Structure 1
Amino acid sequence: MTPITHKPSLEQVDPPRSPRETLPTMYDLPSENPQEPGVPDVFHDLQPQLLSSSLRLREYSRENWFTASDLNLYYDVNHPLWYKRPDWFLAVDVPHLYEGEDLRRSYVVWQEGKNPYVMIEFLSPGTEMEDLGRFYDQTAQVTNPASSTAAANPVESDPKNNSEQPITAPPTSPTKLEVYERYLRVPHYLVYSRHTQRLRYFKLDGGQYQEQPLNANNPIVWLADLEIGLGIWQGVFEAVPGFWLRWCDQEGNWLLTDAEQSQVQLLQAARNLLETGMAMEQVAQLLGLSAAQIEDYCKGKLIL
């Protein structure tokens, strides 16, 4: 755990110094909390990897965006020790490395100068009420057969929005939904349940999140300002079959990870060698591929 240090007091000036000059940096703030539990399952580890490795942004170079998962995000200049740990987020117009030279220990908005642009949370019974806030629907909750945590919490009516809200003790800091909506004003907020394969999309409109309708049979979220889509892909990632969130283009074609792109290049090389008359067995041995992989690729049956 990173020790908390304090900057030496600075002489007051008019106008006042900026938070970047006066508040703690990522080197001063804790990067971890030993009392916090780890990720609830392997999905929470693998899914962020797939999101980050398949992301391609047409308007931004790879050195000009940053993605992270389960990283402390410090967001409030009035409470510099308050933080959230998003399951996955994207910030654009920031260097891939902190100030172009160092790996980030945390994401400190008053140092970065940019708030995250896309937030994604993976729902689980222990977090869904905080992740969804006023959009939480107890009748359609994330159902994990082994858990009834969410159902065990009583609810009461909130006259302000006429929706059911859990009765909880006043938080020390705001909930995730409140932070993303009111403090950070993140334009795109998405939540996904691997248990129900349900994707929900909340778009910031007039300072508040409005849920956007999705096709239940083929839920694809198109983020027009980033020129990229997000949908649910059924496939195998890191030897684990499942229903995964994955980026796609406007036609719905899934974007490849770096590893998959390398694999496709090998398969294209195999096809070129076959066209020269080289035997299948020789091509497969030369490129370290199986004959079945090469045959599937040549027949257009390549499965990611």
Structure 2
Amino acid sequence: MSETTLAAPDITLPPTQADLPYDDGIPMESQRHKMQMELLIDVVETWLEQREDGYASGNMFVYFSLAQLKNQDFRGPDFFAVLGVPKGERRSWVVWEEGKGPDVVIELLSPGTAATDKNEKKLIYQNQMRVPEYFWFDPFNPDDWAGFSLGSGVYQSITPNADNQLVSQALGLVLLRWQGSYKGVNTTWLRWATIDGELLPTAEEKQRQRADQEQQRADQEQQRADQEQQRADQEQQRADQVSSQLQQTARKLLQLGMTVKQVAELTGLPESAIVQLSA
């Protein structure tokens, strides 16, 4: 019987993030768009510090199909977040490598992208990527914002809650429009917050909060030290008053003709101290 050598099967493995392009060379629409993207990522990354899993990024390629790779017809969302995945740096997000796609996607509208974001991309997120939640926001027109949740395969509008916030069930957070200053620009920003409406802090804000808390603790410690010193001073003052009164009593008793020993027994003062009073 002769041996038969089987040929290795011709299998082509799909590319990984190390093999795929990760930069399309197209900049953000404006500085405001770039800052808004950074704000969304910044606060979620700070929030993820409390978790052992999770990833957030933006303006990064998200590869969800080999057909998309072949056609090169879709660029990355302005913001996306994924839970239930290991932390760590990525060049791009490759769904077949990571095992899942984004849980939440946000697109920042501009005159040149609004139509695509509201139609073509929305359908891609709904039908091909199956992203559970999709939001859009116009940094220069804060009234143009909306959220959608995937239900029965179709995006359903997310109705703002009583506080006019859009709730993300996927993250357990809310999106709200916040009037304030970020990196020196005072305007209306889209921000993540807790379900109770407490803003997720940026890394800078969290550092400042920690510094304020440390200063508050230091102030409290100093206040306690000052109070202890004040009590010690009061005790010393009372002791001095008692000592002065005893000395006055001792002098009077000596003047009445009592002996040093008798005065010492009555006042509790040392005989040596009474002798000095009688000098």
TM over 0.5: yes
Structure 2 residue identity aligned to 1:91: V
Counterpart selection for 1:66 from 27, 33, 55:
55
Q: Any conservation in 1 of the 2:176–2:192 contact (CA below 8 Å)?
A: yes
Identity of aligned residues (%): 30
Structure 1 residue identity aligned to 2:215: A
Unaligned runs of 5+ in 2: 1-7, 225-279
- What SS is found at the alignment partner of 1:64? coil
Counterpart selection for 2:195 from 250, 254, 267:
250
- Partner residue in 1 for 2:104: 118
Q: Any conservation in 2 of the 1:119–1:190 contact (CA below 8 Å)?
A: yes
Deviation at 1:60, TM superposition (A): 9.0
Take 1:223 and 1:62, find their aligned partners in 2: how far apart are those partners?
Answer: 17
Structure 1 residue identity aligned to 2:9: E
Change (3 A) 1:263 1:60: closer
- Residue correspondences, number: 213
Q: List per-residue Cα deviations over 1:250-289 (Å, max 9, x = no partner).
A: 22111212321221122223334444259xxxxxxxxxxx
- Partner residue in 1 for 2:175: 230
Q: List per-residue Cα deviations over 1:91-115 (Å, max 9, x = no partner).
A: 1212222xxxxx3221111111111
Take 1:220 and 1:266, find their aligned partners in 2: how far apart are those partners?
Answer: 30
Deviation at 1:24, TM superposition (A): 1.3
Q: Any conservation in 1 of the 2:55–2:85 contact (CA below 8 Å)?
A: yes
Structure 1 residue identity aligned to 2:157: E
Q: Any conservation in 2 of the 1:57–1:227 contact (CA below 8 Å)?
A: no
- Partner residue in 1 for 2:267: none
Counterpart selection for 1:211 from 132, 148, 157:
157
Structure 1 residue identity aligned to 2:181: V
Deviation at 1:72, TM superposition (A): 1.1
Deviation at 1:45, TM superposition (A): 1.5
TM-score by length of 2: 0.69
Deviation at 1:188, TM superposition (A): 0.6
Deviation at 1:62, TM superposition (A): 4.0
Structure 1 residue identity aligned to 2:14: L
Deviation at 1:90, TM superposition (A): 0.7
Take 1:270 and 1:132, find their aligned partners in 2: how far apart are those partners?
Answer: 47
User: Where in structure 1 do 4 or more consecutive aligned residues deviate above 6 Å?
Assistant: 56-60
- Partner residue in 1 for 2:28: 39
Take 2:36 and 2:189, find their aligned partners in 1: how far apart are those partners?
Answer: 7
- What SS is found at the alignment partner of 2:187? strand
User: Over aligned residues, Cα RMSD in angstroms?
Assistant: 2.6
Task: Summarize the alignment of residues 129-148 of structure 1 with structure 2, pairs less than 5 Å apart.
Answer: 129-133=115-119
- Partner residue in 2 for 1:90: 81
Deviation at 1:214, TM superposition (A): 2.3
Unaligned runs of 5+ in 1: 1-9, 98-102, 134-174, 279-304
- Partner residue in 1 for 2:65: 76
